[in-house]
Amino acid sequence: MTSTLRTVRVLLTNWYWALLFPVTILLVSFVVNLVIFAAIGRAAMQNSWTGGLASIYLVQLAVSWAGVRQHFSFTVGLNATRRAFYSGLTLVVLAQSVLFGLFVYLGAWIERATDGWGVGMKFFDPASFLDHHALSAMLIYIVPMALVSCFGVFVGAVGKRWGTFGFFGFSLASIVVFGGIAVLISLLHGWPAVGSWFVDQSALSLLAGWALVPTVLLGLGGSAVLRRAIP
């Protein structure tokens, strides 16, 4: 455990990048959207969702990927174990997910209380997630953040282990697997069933429930990939 905490401290040495940078990007995106809404006027934009919330998820994806790409060689190069590095990194990205998820949740509350920041803008709460129980609403924000984090870490691990060819191989494998599934569904005329399954799911079960499956798989996969990577 102590060696894990040591790598956590290494990862947070420059804590601005780990903890504030994604929030900064989100706030910039928010201000830009707010100015646009104020300029265009409430009537024209009533209840539209800006899509700006995606920025923090994309930044978190990049931050997680960079976490492996930049810190693995440094930390394991200075003789931390791969296991300690990976568990430390997992702790950091999970903490980031909770922190950023709660930040967005807080933004959603203010958005509701101010009736869309006074201009009818839906930035933090695109689909009335706040109608859920408080804990459920938080999970709806946090779990997808953990999913993109684990995806970023996994892609970073593939790059560390196999280099550029790793990315090619991973992309090819993804196309074959997901393309194959799509072909199979088409052959079985299963698309209506797939569509209605998604429609039947609530936001909570989809974003906070089912999203955990790929999150855990990517987390375990990243650990396996990095186990023999060379710093």
Partner 1 sequence: MSTVVEVDGVVRRFGRMTALDEVSFSLRANTIYGLLGRNGAGKSTLMQIMNGHLLATSGRVAVLGESPWERAAVRARMCLVRENQLYPDQFRVHHALRAASFLFPGWDEAYAQSLVDDFQLPRSRQVKKLSRGMLTAVGIVIGLASRAPLTFFDEPYVGLDAVARQLFYDRLLADYAEHPRTIVLSTHLIDEVANLVEHVLLLDRGRLIVDDDADHLRGAVTAITGPAAAVDRIAASGTELHRATVGTLTRATLRGLDDAARGTAAELGVTLEPLSLQQAIVSLTANGMEGSR
Among all chains, which residue has been given the structure tokens 């079960």?
Answer: 205
Number of CB atoms found within 10 A of residue 33's CB = 21
Span interacting with partner 1, options 9-17, 32-40, 97-105, 106-114, rule CB under 8 A: 9-17
Choice between 1 and 187, CB closer to partner 1? 1
> What DSSP string runs through 150-171?
HHHHHHHHHHHHHHHHHHHHHH
Which of 9, 114, 190, 224 is in the footprint of partner 1 by CB under 8 A? 9
Part of the chain binding partner 1 (CB under 8 A), chosen from 37-45, 51-59, 65-73, 192-200: 65-73
Q: How far apart are CA 119 and CA 204, in angstroms?
A: 28
Cβ proximity to partner 1, 88 vs 144, nearer residue: 88
Point out which span in 10-18, 51-59, 131-139, 184-192 binds partner 1 (CB under 8 A): 10-18
Q: Say which residue the tokens 């997630």 belong to.
A: 129
Q: Should residue 64 be labelled a site residue for partner 1 when binding is judged by CB under 8 A?
A: no
> How many residues are recorded in the chain?
231
- List the alpha helices (DSSP H) in 78-133: 82-113
Question: What's the min distance (Å) between Cβ of 225 and partner 1?
Answer: 15
In this structure, what token pair is assigned to residue 8? 């956590």
- Per CB under 8 A, does 199 bind partner 1? no
CA separation for the pair 204, 189 (Å, rounded): 28
3-state class of 122 per DSSP?
strand
- CA 187 – CA 182 distance, rounded (Å): 9
Q: Is residue 73 within the footprint of partner 1 (CB under 8 A)?
A: yes
Residues 13-32 that bind partner 1 (CB under 8 A): 13-14, 17
**Binding letters toward partner 1, positions 81-120, x by CB under 8 A:** xxxx------------------------------------
Instruction: Establish if 71 lies at the interface with partner 1 (CB under 8 A).
Output: yes
SS3 49: strand
Residue 11 is classified by DSSP as H
The residue type of 52 is: G
For residues 101 and 141, what is the distance between their CA atoms, to the nearest angstrom? 5
Residue 76, interface with partner 1 (CB under 8 A)?
A: yes
Least CB distance to partner 1 at residue 1 (A): 10
Which residues of this chain interact with partner 1, rule CB under 8 A? 3, 6, 9-10, 13-14, 17, 66, 70-71, 73-84, 228, 230-231
